[in-house]
Structure 1
Amino acid sequence: MAAFSSNTAPDASMVGELAIADPALAARLADGLREAEERLRGYGAEAGDPRVAEIVGHLIGTGGKRLRPMLALLGGEFGTPDPVVTVKAAALAEIVHVASLYHDDVMDQARTRRGVPSVNERWGNRTAVLAGNWLLAKAAWLAAELGAETVRLQARVTNRLVHGQVRELAGSYDGQDALSHYFNVVSGKSAALIAMALQIGAVQAGVADAEVQALAEYGEHLGVAFQIADDILDITSSSAVLGKEQGKDLAIGVASLPVLIALTDDGPETAELRRLLTAGRAGSAGAPEAGGPGSGPRAGGPGTTTLPHTVALLESTGVLDQARSMMHDRLARARVSLALLPDVPAKQVLHSLCDFVARRDH
């Protein structure tokens, strides 16, 4: 029976990106991620059909930074973790994340993910949605093995993911500020997953409720900051760095934070930028499907021929700097949440993660 394949080694994960001063903690994280990876590979055999196993394991097999599994392991460091149980929590966090990617790529008509064809590009939208559903069902099964509180957390994050996606598609309510709507969407789609990963690891390790809440608040702010950095990187980084098409979100008119800042600025210096952003969708993206990405809070894409000029204007008018400022504000709020936690080595790693996000926005 087919199983998830993976080319991810521990030193390719997020652990290798961070300054971890405590060698014992670094070793525990590397071991935990390796064991979580083995579990992820093994879950494919449980699909019961080699075709299903291939599809549901497609993105897991490409590796990735494994941020959410690492966060689950770090959450456990604030209590007394059982390594076997914490590894299960780490695997659960990654499965929910990958399921959300399958669904997001359908909504965004993405062609690549993590440097390979997206599931919807290779097998079609309907298959991608079903595979994402299978992964969510598997996550629910794992949560049930970990106890009632983990079931509640997993169900809550699935609920928030759906609400975030619906908000993105439906757009803002009458009178709702566009930036407020953006942060509501990001909170449901990105921040919720990061907060959940920390919480489930902490809950399994018997961490006190107040500290679990502090970790959740840290995760919420970190998740928003990560998404803002991704919005910036979509505009400024090459496809080789991103693992997906450069400017994909900008080209199809996704209302990323830099775009929203530009559209809500009525100053003369951004007039040309606003015109390009509302001129129509990018030629390479095609028309959006009914009920798809184009039906929500999307700006017009600048078009592939004007994309470089649009990127230059986003930088020269200060729009990207404003987005960076909002990102750094979220990172500062994340650090405030950490002040409520005991001074264990994992706390410094969470600070280092804030430093990592601050560096990756350029």
Structure 2
Amino acid sequence: MPNHALPYPEVGYVSLLRTLEISDAALAARLRDGLDRTEARLRACVNEASDPRVTGAVGHLVEAGGKRLRPLLALLGGEFGDPPADHLVGAAALAELIHVASLHHDDVMDRATVRRGRPTVNARFGNAVAVYSGDWLLARGGQIAAELHDGSLALHTQTAERLVAGQLRELLGPGPDDDALAYYLEVIAGKSAALISAALRLGALQGDVPAEVSERLGDYGEQLGIAFQIGDDLIDVTSAQSDSGKQQGQDIASGVVSLPVLLALRDTSQANAELRGLLTAGPVPGSPEHARALALLSASPAVPLAQEVLEQRLDRARRVLTTLPPGPAVGALYALCDLVSRRTN
């Protein structure tokens, strides 16, 4: 391995596991061990680049840490079978590599300057490096997938296709005959929920979990992922510092039609006229109009309405859990639903 390893701080999965308060001590220990090993695998992956400058770019966001939600989901998916430990860790690392690659691309599209509390890859290295380093991470993920259980590479490519299609559809926007809310939900199912669903299925795949159980895990992940993205939408409006380290109001500044924005635009009341006009004009980041739009949106009925949609998706996820084989992993998946709800309450 080239000798230009990056320094890595303690990452957020420690606090994530603590917050989940997993009651089964044996499961908690397995998850902590699995996440520790996944972190080492991620570190090794980015340090396999032949040029230290490439390592710096592809490892920039990996080094920044994060909650490692997707690796955790892969490990929980494996709990429903009996996977080889190295394959399960590989699946967990693969899920995170796809996620980080998507963040490289997202931040270029959004012109974001902060991610996970540090400059984004595009802010530090430029847009071209950010895009190509994201591509590198996707390709490296494909190499890992090829080493795992049969079907892992196909699931990797299907997930990447859904992510890209979701982002493209967000860029293109709904057509004149599309319902904007339905279109939004389809977009976030692709660009966000697809990977959360796939992470669970990747873990299950390594342990030869029965197909019907794997499908239900995927269904749970779809609903959890949609709720998680709506939560991000809400945090962007209501929280001065999100757990992703992004700037508040980034969606408004980038012209992203998040759920609160969409619901506010659908409110044709006179009381909402100023906000509707500001959102339609697209306020410039840092301008008085941007600050005013953010203040009006955070106090508008769109926020509790979006929270209601989030809770509906979590209820669907919980209903799926009632169909899974009982065990401590199911309890952890229920706890994740509660955590997603608490993020915005």
The TM-score, its normalising length taken from structure 2, stands at 0.96
Equivalent position to 1:309, from 278, 281, 292: 292
User: For the Cα contact (< 8 Å) 2:165–2:190, is it kept in 1?
Assistant: yes
1:200-258 per-position Cα deviation (integer Å, ceiling 9, x unaligned): 00010111000000000000010010010100100111137551211111223211100
Paired position in structure 2 for 1:82:
84
Inter-partner Cα distance in structure 2 for 1:169 and 1:118: 20
Inter-partner Cα distance in structure 1 for 2:161 and 2:104: 16
Corresponding position: 1:3 with 2:39: no
Distance 1:131 1:21, change over 3 A: same
Inter-partner Cα distance in structure 1 for 2:335 and 2:285: 41
Distance 1:240 1:354, change over 3 A: closer
Equivalent position to 1:103, from 92, 97, 105: 105
Inter-partner Cα distance in structure 2 for 1:54 and 1:358: 35
Alignment of 1:204-215 (within 5 A): 204-215=206-217
Distance 1:339 1:120, change over 3 A: same
**Which SS does the other structure have where 1:244 is aligned?**
coil
Alignment of 1:1-362 (within 5 A): 1=2, 2-9=4-11, 12-239=14-241, 241-284=243-286, 304-362=287-345
Inter-partner Cα distance in structure 2 for 1:209 and 1:120: 40
- 1:173 maps to amino acid: G
Inter-partner Cα distance in structure 1 for 2:65 and 2:13: 11
Inter-partner Cα distance in structure 1 for 2:303 and 2:277: 17
Distance 1:45 1:309, change over 3 A: closer
Distance 1:17 1:200, change over 3 A: same
Distance 1:240 1:192, change over 3 A: closer
Inter-partner Cα distance in structure 2 for 1:240 and 1:217: 27
Displacement after TM superposition at 1:321 (Å): 0.3
Inter-partner Cα distance in structure 1 for 2:84 and 2:66: 25
User: For the Cα contact (< 8 Å) 1:5–1:57, is it kept in 2?
Assistant: no
Inter-partner Cα distance in structure 1 for 2:123 and 2:230: 26
Displacement after TM superposition at 1:272 (Å): 1.9
Inter-partner Cα distance in structure 2 for 1:259 and 1:326: 14
Return 20-29 or 168-177, whichever deviates more: 168-177
**Which SS does the other structure have where 2:76 is aligned?**
helix
**Which SS does the other structure have where 1:361 is aligned?**
coil
1:103-133 per-position Cα deviation (integer Å, ceiling 9, x unaligned): 1111111101100100001111111111001
Inter-partner Cα distance in structure 1 for 2:248 and 2:204: 36
Unaligned runs of 5+ in 1: 285-303
User: For the Cα contact (< 8 Å) 2:238–2:298, is it kept in 1?
Assistant: no
> RMSD over aligned Cα, in angstroms?
1.5
1:284-323 per-position Cα deviation (integer Å, ceiling 9, x unaligned): 4xxxxxxxxxxxxxxxxxxx31344333432443110000
- Number of residues paired by the alignment? 343
Structure 1 residue ranges (4+ consecutive) displaced by more than 4 angstroms after TM superposition: none
User: For the Cα contact (< 8 Å) 1:10–1:33, is it kept in 2?
Assistant: no
Distance 1:237 1:315, change over 3 A: closer
Inter-partner Cα distance in structure 2 for 1:167 and 1:5: 37
1:115-158 per-position Cα deviation (integer Å, ceiling 9, x unaligned): 01000011111111110010000000000000331111100000
Inter-partner Cα distance in structure 2 for 1:78 and 1:335: 17
- 2:276 maps to amino acid: R
Displacement after TM superposition at 1:337 (Å): 1.1
1:53-88 per-position Cα deviation (integer Å, ceiling 9, x unaligned): 111011000110000000000000011122221111
Percentage identity across paired residues of the two chains: 50
Distance 1:155 1:357, change over 3 A: same
User: For the Cα contact (< 8 Å) 2:66–2:244, is it kept in 1?
Assistant: no
Inter-partner Cα distance in structure 2 for 1:232 and 1:176: 24
User: For the Cα contact (< 8 Å) 1:33–1:70, is it kept in 2?
Assistant: yes
Distance 1:167 1:28, change over 3 A: same
Inter-partner Cα distance in structure 2 for 1:351 and 1:221: 12
- 1:322 maps to amino acid: L
Return 239-248 or 163-172, whichever deviates more: 239-248
User: For the Cα contact (< 8 Å) 2:87–2:149, is it kept in 1?
Assistant: no
